[in-house]
Amino acid sequence: MENSPQQSAANAAAQSGGYPPQPPYHHLIQQQLEMFWNYQRQEIEGVTDFKNHLLPLARIKKIMKSDEDVRMISAEAPILFAKACELFILELTIRSWLHAEENKRRTLQKNDIAAAITRTDIFDFLVDIVPRDEIKEEGGGLGPVMVGSTSSGVPYYYPPMGQPAPPGVMMGRPAMPGVDPSMYAQPPPPPSQDWQSVWQISEDNNYASGQGNIDAQS
């Protein structure tokens, strides 16, 4: 297939040093992000039980009422906040786990969370909670990670490496300048036994810990 003028120019620029070399994990980040959000969308679309949640609605409502300007809270608002908090925790955990894997560890530590916050622009509001000087570079890390948006509008992500894609999820992305095309043809490494699809928790454990009933907590 003949390359377009834009692709030819991009390839020429990459060969001449016009683009900085992209790290191999850049593709994995995008790939895992698409997997994560595709799974979450499918799960949300299929939800029929709106009363049980991983996070206690009473606690969420208490936090909401800590704002003196909030007088009344509808029954639906804590439900939306519960899901938003769940996704936030999952995203930050997966970003942090990448840093732990970079340093060949199987235990998530505070400095992993600090590294994930520092690497991600949207988490800048957390830098005062987890100061940057607490970040410990333990070994040959992968360097600064790019954060942006894919062509579908989904931001880049820091997922656990080597997770298989759910059925129906497209794997891969057009080759980027400076990246060896053969990288995309190689199968991902086997998933870590310690990392069992963290974003599938809400489906698999039947909300065993952290059940909340709207009628009881309203």
Q: Between 29 and 148, where is the model more confident? A: 29
What's the pLDDT tens digit per position in 51-80? 778 888 889 999 999 998 988 999 889 989
Quote the pLDDT of residue 121. 87
What's the pLDDT tens digit per position in 133-180? 555 555 444 444 434 333 334 443 334 444 444 444 433 333 333 434
Alpha-carbon distance 138 to 113, whole Å?
Answer: 14
pLDDT at 215 over 80: no
Q: Which residues pair with 149 in a beta bridge?
A: 155
Alpha-carbon distance 120 to 141, whole Å?
Answer: 16
Q: What share of the chain is helix, strand, coil (3-state, %, to 5)?
A: 45, 0, 50
Query: Is this model's pTM higher than 0.85 or not?
Result: no
DSSP state of 34: H
pLDDT at 19 over 50: no
Q: Could you please report the per-residue DSSP string of 52-119?
A: --SS-HHHHHHHHHTSTT-----SHHHHHHHHHHHHHHHHHHHHHHHHHHHTT-SS--HHHHHHHHHH
Quote the pLDDT of residue 5. 54
Residue 218 tokens, joined: 């309203």
Quote the pLDDT of residue 108. 93
pLDDT at 23 over 50: yes
Residue 39 tokens, joined: 């799974």
CA dist list (Å): 204 to 43, 79, 107, 198, 207: 12, 19, 22, 10, 8
pLDDT at 213 over 60: no
Residue 214 tokens, joined: 């709207």
3 state DSSP class of 198: helix
**Number of other CB atoms surrounding residue 201 within 10 Å:** 14
What's the pLDDT tens digit per position in 72-111? 999 889 989 999 999 999 888 888 888 888 889 999 999 9
Q: CA 86, 87, 91, 97: dihedral to nearest 10 degrees? A: 30
Quote the pLDDT of residue 4. 53
- Residues in contact with 118: Cβ distance below 8 Å, sequence separation at least 6, in sequence order: 127, 132, 135
Quote the pLDDT of residue 25. 56
Quote the pLDDT of residue 180. 43
Quote the pLDDT of residue 63. 92
Q: Domains along the chain?
A: 23-162+180-217 (1.10.20.10)
Quote the pLDDT of residue 100. 86
Quote the pLDDT of residue 105. 92
What's the pLDDT tens digit per position in 105-141? 999 999 999 988 988 888 889 988 887 655 555 544 4
